[in-house]
Amino acid sequence: MNETRGYRRTPVYSTSAAIYDRMVGHYAFEHWRDNFERLERRYDLDISRVADAACGTGLASAYLVERGAEVYASDLSLPMLAEAARLHGRPGVCLQRQDMRYLYPPSRVTLVNCATDAMNHLLYKADLRRALSSFRAALEPGGHAIFDLNTAWQLREGSDTVPWEFEVDGRRMRWSSAWEEVSSICTLNMVFIDVDLDGSDIVEVHRERAYETAWVMEELARAGFDSAEVMDATGLGKAGEQTRRLQFVAGV
Ligand SMILES: C[S@@+](CC[C@H](N)C(=O)[O-])C[C@H]1O[C@@H](n2cnc3c(N)ncnc32)[C@H](O)[C@@H]1O
């Protein structure tokens, strides 16, 4: 994992923001939408006012606005928010720079959505705990929080220390990743080849932590949610040992 040595390091979701949708976003959105529509029916979700926390490029926000929701979309990354504004900025979406640990929409919402492993980016238990409390505080009675988390199985199995080179929109990239069992953290080095002013590479270092399901469920109760369910994000059935991503639905 010496991929980062000697390269200029840029913040996560800075260089990658412009190609996020082609790389991950569109595919992730299709998957999210299928699940969302099933969860909406299953849990009778109210989408009148939605906080889309860690909204990224805003694909889910744009969809929810189309569906008639008032949406407060927020993210920590300014380049991702700039993409969201450029691609999907429209009346009805309020874009804000906000840390999901301190989510604070302009008014209480009926639904908090936090999708596509955004919460795995919180590397400390205290951070995840704080995020769940802020989701709870943002909800009005009867509201729900829906979010997903990559499992340790996914992060471990998906890691590959052998560098993988590919191209997106004419940008050459080299990815390598490593899983650390002790910390339950996967580190992904995203190298952008020959893009710096002097023609050298630059790198974004993305880190995701896996959390124990039982611990997350305990924290949801501790945060004040009255109900919480977890399922396999693929198929929305019972989660098992080889589940790659978990879908949580918590209500107040
Ligand atoms: C994999 S992207 C998912 C984006 C979007 N939710 C989607 O479904 O495509 C993860 C996002 O989480 C954001 N993020 C990471 N940590 C954050 C934090 N503490 N608060 C808010 N956003 C955060 C990143 O900036 C990035 O846009």
Domains detected in the chain: 8-12+154-209 (2.20.25), 15-150+211-251 (3.40.50.150)
**Taking CB atoms and a 6 Å cutoff, what residues make up the pocket around ligand 1?**
13, 25, 28, 32, 54-56, 59-60, 75-77, 80, 99-101, 115-118, 121
Predicted TM-score (pTM) of the model is: 0.95
Closest CA to 104 of 74, 61, 143, 79: 74
Predicted confidence (pLDDT) at residue 110 exceeds the cutoff of 70: yes
For residue 143, what pLDDT band results from cuts at 50, 70 and 90? very high
Instruction: Give the pLDDT confidence score for residue 5 in this predicted structure.
Output: 63
Question: Three-class SS of residue 171?
Answer: strand
Ligand 1: which atom is nearest the Cα of residue 80?
A: 27
What mean pLDDT comes out for the span 102-129? 98
**Amino acid at residue number 236:** L
Predicted confidence (pLDDT) at residue 91 exceeds the cutoff of 80: no
For residue 195, what pLDDT band results from cuts at 50, 70 and 90? confident
Cβ 245 vs Cβ 233: under 8 Å: yes
The mean pLDDT value of the chain amounts to: 94
Instruction: Give the pLDDT confidence score for residue 185 in this predicted structure.
Output: 98
